[in-house]
Structure 1
Amino acid sequence: MNRSSLIKALVFDLDGTLLNSQKIISERNQEALMRSYQSGVKLFIATARPPRSVNKMVPKELLDCASGIYYNGAYVKEIHGKTMSYTISSADSGKLIDFMCSHNEKDAISIESEDRLYALSDETFAKNAKHMVLPPTIVTPSKLKELPANKVLLFHCPSSVKSFVMQYTDQLTIVETDSKELMQIMAKDISKSRAVSALCKKMNISMDSVMSFGDDWNDLDLFKTCGYSVAMGNAEPELKPFASMTTATNDEDGVAQILEQLMITHRY
């Protein structure tokens, strides 16, 4: 890393990055973030999670200082409250819903729409609770098709489902995360990096002056587009070569370790 370059914005994934294994932001990490913000550095939280989940996990003091990028970039809330929402076409989401229903996989699909989670069966939560904060609202297939989908979630998909979904790579953004237990599907060209780029453009910040932190494949686009990228020590092994550097794990305050070094270098 070029120590003489001033970092103007910091982007953080949550799970496996800013959150430790207990899903908590440590005091050390929070202090490092607040010191960075107070020095004039912009903060972005970029996560696959919905806003309601982030609001429960991130202290209000920190939320008030950061722009939020949710659903891997499909929903963005600027620090002053303005929002941007991007959804999958009803035709494309309808095809996914029809396929899952016709192949007895209705328990394995849910949809995030404007900060609410919907599913077709109570079994969806029973089988996949670790991926959800609260049980989803249960609706009929026809109602599910009508919803503006920021993100479609497919859980523990067999190869037949994955093969079907991958036919739509030209129309949709498809990312596998959580050790490939979860397929996350958004509108075409939706990504964390696109959302960060849009925010930075409004703030007159070059992407070369942005540092991103992450651990999973939905962070790859950030690693490729930000001037500096940091892979957590617990990151997917295949992801680490794409990062500028590697830090300690999320249980060892890996984020804070990098930020503290930046503070010394730049005299924040």
Structure 2
Amino acid sequence: MKKNIKLVAFDLDGTLLTDDKQITEATWEALKELAKREVLLVPCTGRPLSGIPEELVQFPGVRYLISANGARVVDVKEKKVLREELIPVPLAERVLKIFYKYDCLRELYYDGEGVVGQAGYDRVAQYHRSPAVVQYFLGSRQPVPDLWDKFYQENRPVDKVQGVFREISEKARAYEELAQIPEIAITTSLVNNLEINLKDVTKGSVLCEFAEGLGIARDEIMAFGDGDNDLEMIAMVGTGVAMENGIPELREKADYVTVTNNEDGVAKVLVQQLLMEG
């Protein structure tokens, strides 16, 4: 291989997956070849564990999953949680109260599963306009009669809190309120969402600390991303790759900018930088 890369991390939406939420044949072939060469392949996503495509979970080259922007790290082979960075109940309650001031689709992540109120679940198409995203959401979220009731019944820390807004102006106002809470990290992966994690919990920090525990240095990591919640990951690893469809700030931080997620952007870099001989 051209680079001494021992671990490849990749965001899912807008990166590894096409807009139709598929993994192309070219991408599968590149991942299979890396797995043969014993390169660790680590999905690193804002999704809950329940939202990670089953074909990736079952793929022999994937042993570890980083979900909810780093809040949960799982060993797939051993079927155990290796790390949790959860939002305490009082802090999650404060965030949820702010989200309830606005017209947004509110979600809580518990134990790697996304939970949403039934009313929001039934109206998902008003918040997610892409049919592929709606289908993904309906297939990966657990509807409950009332989200507040679920929160108080559980009475325990959450992986992540998310709000998906109908109006960008409301997202901006919610962000201003949330920014007054120093104990949280606020990121986005969509134009109209806000993702809340515990402070200092990001894909980048968790990925690099996790890799270090495996004896893998930052300069031995290649990572791919497209959104705001990928910024630290792309900046912290040895080789950061941004998608052409990614946000401008990410493209500026990256070592490489590849073509879009609909044009096999991940596969092309893997082939050119890691798999081509010579």
Q: TM-score range by the shorter chain?
A: 0.7 to 0.9
Counterpart contact for 2:5–2:221, Cα < 8 Å:
yes
Counterpart contact for 2:107–2:114, Cα < 8 Å:
yes
Pairing 1:77–2:89 present: no
Alpha-carbon offset, residue 137 of structure 1: 2.1
Aligned to 1:86: 85
CA gap 1:255/1:66 in 2 versus in 1, 3 angstroms: farther
Aligned to 2:148: 141
Paired residues for 1:92-107 under 5 Å: 92-101=91-100, 103=101, 105=102
In the superposition, the TM-score normalised over structure 1's length comes to 0.88
- Which residue of 182, 187, 194 maps to 2:198? 187
Aligned to 1:28: 26
Gapped runs of 5+ residues in structure 2? none
Counterpart contact for 1:118–1:139, Cα < 8 Å:
no
Q: Deviations over 1:95-137 (max 9, x none)?
A: 1223344x3x375322111123233451355133546244522
Q: Deviations over 1:158-186 (max 9, x none)?
A: 13322211111x2011102212x000001
- Which residue of 55, 58, 61 maps to 1:60? 58
Alpha-carbon offset, residue 264 of structure 1: 4.5
Pairing 1:171–2:183 present: yes
Gapped runs of 5+ residues in structure 1? none
Aligned to 1:252: 263
AA aligned to 2:210 is: L
AA aligned to 1:128 is: Y
Larger CA deviation: 143-152 vs 22-31: 143-152
Counterpart contact for 2:49–2:113, Cα < 8 Å:
no
Q: Deviations over 1:229-263 (max 9, x none)?
A: 11112111232010001111111111111111134
Aligned residues: CA RMSD:
2.3
What CA distance in whole angstroms lies between the structure 1 residues aligned with 2:231 and 2:104?
Answer: 29
AA aligned to 2:25 is: E
What CA distance in whole angstroms lies between the structure 2 residues aligned with 1:187 and 1:125?
Answer: 29
Counterpart contact for 1:118–1:138, Cα < 8 Å:
no
CA gap 1:121/1:35 in 2 versus in 1, 3 angstroms: same
Pairing 1:152–2:161 present: yes
Aligned to 1:239: 250
Pairing 1:209–2:208 present: no
What CA distance in whole angstroms lies between the structure 1 residues aligned with 2:275 and 2:115?
Answer: 47
Aligned to 2:210: 199
CA gap 1:121/1:167 in 2 versus in 1, 3 angstroms: farther
Alpha-carbon offset, residue 6 of structure 1: 0.9
Per the alignment, in what secondary structure is the counterpart of residue 13 of structure 2? helix
What CA distance in whole angstroms lies between the structure 1 residues aligned with 2:99 and 2:2?
Answer: 52
Counterpart contact for 2:208–2:237, Cα < 8 Å:
no
CA gap 1:31/1:4 in 2 versus in 1, 3 angstroms: closer
AA aligned to 1:108 is: L
Per the alignment, in what secondary structure is the counterpart of residue 127 of structure 2? helix
Larger CA deviation: 36-45 vs 53-62: 53-62
Q: Deviations over 1:52-82 (max 9, x none)?
A: 11134637225x5241100010011124333
Larger CA deviation: 86-95 vs 113-122: 113-122
Larger CA deviation: 215-224 vs 78-87: 78-87
What CA distance in whole angstroms lies between the structure 2 residues aligned with 1:234 and 1:100?
Answer: 28
CA gap 1:215/1:114 in 2 versus in 1, 3 angstroms: same
The count of residues paired between Structure 1 and Structure 2 equals 260
Per the alignment, in what secondary structure is the counterpart of residue 61 of structure 1? coil
Counterpart contact for 1:48–1:72, Cα < 8 Å:
yes
What CA distance in whole angstroms lies between the structure 1 residues aligned with 2:36 and 2:227?
Answer: 28
CA gap 1:59/1:147 in 2 versus in 1, 3 angstroms: closer
What CA distance in whole angstroms lies between the structure 1 residues aligned with 2:277 and 2:197?
Answer: 38
